[in-house]
Structure 1
């Protein structure tokens, strides 16, 4: 499972699992506070903040060349750009420092951390084990802006990035310049931008108004690609390997840095 839909809200499943682990950790902390008179809650939140900041900082430093031109964009963590390893190490170090002088606090904090971490890790592994086989690029017919028909699977043969978007979608509009830059920086990868549910004229006007020079902009008035790929919200970006197998799915806004991470992952695949 890649996404979770709660009414009108569409959430990346990995974010839901992280929140679930954090909730379990805080529930264990609350039990220690009530039953043992030891409150690891404040220390747990310090660990959470430290891990969040370190995970983001490590990611930004890894892609410093992309953030140098617009440093403030590093604060826009909606792209999901984090280093899990750096975050965990920072969180554990913070916990060790905060609880070093109190054995009861160390035990309570360790129990809360292990409980939350076990739930997050176990649920993540179970979700991966239950994931369906790598889905192929669907042979769905879409249209170029000039009206010519083309099937999505005709782009098979090299790594492929399929972005599902709409002109009325705020995150879609924000990520377009970053994806345009990623397209230019990765000529070995095919980028396809499939507009969902709008006309060619609407898309042409949008591209002209935003001064976007993007190749492979297609329209899918019936939203068949979204339905065929089980994409429930926009923007959704699908990453296929050269054999045409789905390898990753990103729900929500992408930055050039997160796009680079996904593309690098495709290059490492057999």
Structure 2
């Protein structure tokens, strides 16, 4: 609820479907508020429910150890790249383009595929974002499909994107160490990876990504 209030302009926009506020796939939540509510709930149970106090403490301790260990192992075994790789990709006209072919302050790259339902769900968000954020370059980087398949999909759905690039070998996903789609990456002018998001993108979540400290500094 806190996240919805923070980004109410996006959630109550005319083009945003009504169910977006309860669609948890975009992982739109405010972690501080979530932890505060959880702490209050646990504190209430510890004070009021004496019979469950010891089992609850044990369960919470195990959960924290499990989450902390899992996160540490993941971070140790998955090095997140820090800068854009020296790749070039073809657009739908066959022109080869590197990231730095456009001196935009920020480039948002969305890894997607036509067969991916989640990717399809977020397409209207990125189409609208091109008008909402005119100083940001949005690149729709298709993973593992042919030009014909991509064009057929875009024409059938009547989407209009300024930058649709092709990555038939999915080398961008391999570079990232991420084979699943969709993935959204935010790069700065120098190619630095500023932030990212895995899973469906809502207008509110995109706004949060672009309003993060590292991103907003470049937009101002």
Task: Output the TM-score relative to the length of structure 2.
Answer: 0.83
Identify the match of residue 267 of structure 1 among 197, 215, 219. 215
Larger Rg: 1
Asked if structure 2 preserves the Cα contact closer than 8 Å seen for 1:79 and 1:255, the reply is yes
What do residues 171-213 of structure 1 show as CA deviations (whole Å, max 9, x unaligned)? 1111110112223211222211111222333222222221211
Answering whether residue 117 of structure 2 is matched by residue 174 of structure 1, we say no
Moved more, 61-70 or 107-116: 107-116
Q: What is aligned with 1:65? A: 9
Q: What is aligned with 2:135? A: 188
Segments ≥4 residues shifted beyond 6 Å: none
Answering whether residue 154 of structure 2 is matched by residue 207 of structure 1, we say yes
TM-aligned CA deviation for residue 223 of structure 1: 2.4
Identify the match of residue 85 of structure 2 among 138, 151, 159. 138
Asked if structure 1 preserves the Cα contact closer than 8 Å seen for 2:122 and 2:202, the reply is yes
Q: CA RMSD in A?
A: 2.6
Equivalents in 2 of 1:251, 1:189: separation in Å? Answer: 19
Aligned ranges 1:65-144 → 2 under 5 Å: 65-68=9-12, 69=14, 70-121=17-68, 123-124=70-71, 132=79, 134-144=81-91
- The structure showing larger relative contact order (alpha-carbon pairs under 8 Å, at least 6 residues apart) is 2
Q: What is aligned with 1:197? A: 144
Counterparts in 2 of 1:166 and 1:256: CA distance versus 1, 3 Å: same
Q: What is aligned with 1:257? A: 204
Counterparts in 2 of 1:152 and 1:242: CA distance versus 1, 3 Å: closer
TM-aligned CA deviation for residue 78 of structure 1: 0.9
SS at match of 1:100: helix
Equivalents in 2 of 1:100, 1:248: separation in Å? Answer: 40
Equivalents in 2 of 1:176, 1:61: separation in Å? Answer: 24
Identify the match of residue 195 of structure 2 among 207, 228, 248. 248
Answering whether residue 112 of structure 2 is matched by residue 165 of structure 1, we say yes
Counterparts in 2 of 1:155 and 1:113: CA distance versus 1, 3 Å: farther
Asked if structure 2 preserves the Cα contact closer than 8 Å seen for 1:134 and 1:245, the reply is no
Task: Structure 2: state its 5+ residue gaps.
Answer: none
Identify the match of residue 230 of structure 1 among 159, 177, 180. 177
Answering whether residue 94 of structure 2 is matched by residue 150 of structure 1, we say no
Equivalents in 1 of 2:153, 2:97: separation in Å? Answer: 22
Task: Output the TM-score relative to the length of structure 1.
Answer: 0.69
Task: Structure 1: state its 5+ residue gaps.
Answer: 1-56
Answering whether residue 166 of structure 2 is matched by residue 219 of structure 1, we say yes
Equivalents in 1 of 2:68, 2:135: separation in Å? Answer: 34
What do residues 65-112 of structure 1 show as CA deviations (whole Å, max 9, x unaligned)? 222243212221111112111111111212233343334533442443
Number of matched pairs = 214
Equivalents in 2 of 1:112, 1:71: separation in Å? Answer: 37
